[in-house]
Amino acid sequence: MKIGILTSGGDCPGLNAVIRGAVLKGIAVHGQEFVGFRDGWRGVVEGDIIDIPRTLVRGIAKQGGTILGTSRTNPFENGGGPAVIKGHMDRLGIDAIIAIGGEGTLAAAKRLTDAGLRIVGVPKTIDNDLDATDYTFGFDTAVEIATEAIDRLRTTGESHHRCMIAEVMGRHVGWIALHSGMASGAHAILIPEQRVSIDQIAAWVKLAHDRGRAPLVVVAEGFALDTMGEAHSERGLDTFGRPRLGGIGERLAPEIEARTGIETRATVLGHIQRGGVPTAFDRVLATRLGMAAIDSVVEGRWGTMVSLNGTDIVHVGFDAALGRLKTVPQDRYDEARVLFG
Ligand code: F6P
């Protein structure tokens, strides 16, 4: 059996560990062959592949990015669609596809599976916003990177008696902000799920400052003040028509400064959170998911993805993962909020 693997959407630490886990198990246990589609769905739509022999996955569990490349290509556009893709699979002798990606990738995979293609999924996003899996690989690494960076911002904030704002990723949900903010002892954590007023943020900053602390605010890129209609976006749309986020920290800084009189600086961590080596936790999770994806293929579980349930890897339908975001529950925010100010 020949299996094609693709990585699609934003890159994420652990993608290579998934590929390695799948390839090693597939070769060792089932004698399967592997190819990789270059740059996500683009490679699928164009039939652009590379062979993945065992030697190609040597030592890559600790390597950031993806050896296959990625893109935000929509497989139903750019000359794609089920018939074209089926044609490429038949011509190239590919029996099944393992699609590693986030909500957009899995939604496309579902449509293609519904049209008769043999696809299984592996969920991926640093934002940890996919429902039907307890954690996604890449999230732990992003939180580690953000926490380390915020710790560094804190020492410079303390030296200059400034308020520091760290802007982290999190388009629809605030998991990275919540965890990195808690880990670094932030005086305010601002997430997309919770609208807050600028006066409340200024009050938290002032409280911390009055105790002799350098106030630290962690804000998710998707956060909006109670007076804002949408999340802050000033750089147009991506290829899926979604606003490119980023800049809410810079928007808040002068407002906080004006209300508190405390010099306030903002830093956007951006793609640093998605780059570099994955943590051990993410390497293990990603490897296990890759290996379990082979079971999905062998058992013919088309239209399902592997997922983490507690400490077990299970198989769930694409439907379970789509259409519902895993947001930060109210009690998790309330728990963190006790320590604000
Ligand atoms: O979905 C993961 C993510 O990192 C989001 O947090 C962020 O909004 C988006 O990807 C950024 O995407 P791009 O790298 O295409 O700008």
Catalytic residue of the set 127, 129, 140, 282:
127
* Domain stop point among 243, 274, 305: 274
Would you say 281 and 274 are in contact if contact means Cβ atoms under 8 Å apart? no
Look at residue 84 and tell me if it is in a domain: yes
Q: Which helix (H) or strand (E) holds 332?
A: helix 330-337
Residues 194 and 216 in one domain: yes
Q: 233-251 b/e with 16+ CB inside 10 Å = b?
A: beeeeeeeeebebbbbbbb
Residues 268 and 282 in one domain: no
Mean of all residue pLDDT scores within the chain: 96
Residues 265 and 290 in one domain: no
Report the CATH number that the domain containing residue 146 is assigned in CATH: 3.40.50.460
- Other beta carbons within 10 angstroms of residue 78's beta carbon come to 14
Amino acid identity, position 122: V
Look at residue 297 and tell me if it is in a domain: yes
Q: How many percent of the chain have pLDDT more than 70?
A: 100
**Would the pLDDT of 41 be above 80?**
yes
Residues 130 and 189 in one domain: no
| Residues forming a β-bridge with 325 | 130
Residue 208 structural domain? 140-274
- Tell me the best of 8, 127, 128, 139 to mutate to test the pocket of ligand 1, counting ligand atoms within 8 Å of each CB and taking the most: 127
Look at residue 336 and tell me if it is in a domain: no
173 CB near ligand 1 (under 6 Å): no
Q: What is the mean pLDDT of residues 322-339?
A: 95
Residues 263 and 154 in one domain: yes
Residue nearest to atom 12 of ligand 1 (CA): 10
Look at residue 17 and tell me if it is in a domain: yes
pLDDT for 134 equals: 95
Candidate from 113-117, 240-244, 271-275, 310-314 with smallest mean pLDDT: 240-244
Residues 153 and 194 in one domain: yes
Residues 145 and 260 in one domain: yes
Looking at residue 253, what DSSP letter applies? Answer: H
Residues 73 and 158 in one domain: no
Residues 81 and 149 in one domain: no
Q: Enumerate residues 6+ apart whose C-beta is below 8 A from 194.
A: 174, 223, 328, 333
Look at residue 38 and tell me if it is in a domain: yes
Residues 113 and 69 in one domain: yes
Q: Which atom of ligand 1 is nearest to the CA of 274?
A: 4
- Could you report the per-residue pLDDT of 7-40, keeping only the tens digit for each? 999 999 999 999 999 999 999 999 999 999 999 9
- Could you report the per-residue pLDDT of 279-292, keeping only the tens digit for each? 999 999 999 999 99
Report the CATH number that the domain containing residue 295 is assigned in CATH: 3.40.50.450
126 CB near ligand 1 (under 6 Å): yes
Dihedrals phi, psi of 309, to nearest 5 degrees: -125, 100
Task: Tell me the CA distances in angstroms from 314 to 59, 222, 265, 304, one per residue in order.
Answer: 26, 30, 44, 10
Look at residue 340 and tell me if it is in a domain: no
Residues 44 and 155 in one domain: no
Look at residue 206 and tell me if it is in a domain: yes
- Could you report the per-residue pLDDT of 162-211, keeping only the tens digit for each? 999 999 999 999 999 999 999 999 999 999 999 999 999 999 999 999 99
* First and final C-alpha spacing in the chain: 59
**Would the pLDDT of 59 be above 80?**
yes
- Could you report the per-residue pLDDT of 154-171, keeping only the tens digit for each? 999 999 999 999 999 999
- In this prediction, residue 46 has a pLDDT band, given cuts at 50, 70 and 90, of very high
Residues 266 and 150 in one domain: yes
pTM of the shown model: 0.96
| Structural domains of the chain, count | 2
Please tell me the distance from the alpha carbon of residue 174 to that of residue 339, in angstroms, as a whole number: 17
Look at residue 225 and tell me if it is in a domain: yes
Q: Which atom of ligand 1 is nearest to the CA of 170?
A: 6
Would you say 51 and 37 are in contact if contact means Cβ atoms under 8 Å apart? no
pLDDT for 154 equals: 96
Would you say 341 and 189 are in contact if contact means Cβ atoms under 8 Å apart? no
| 334 a catalytic residue | no
Cα dihedral 311→326→305→69 (10° resolution): -100
Would you say 341 and 188 are in contact if contact means Cβ atoms under 8 Å apart? yes
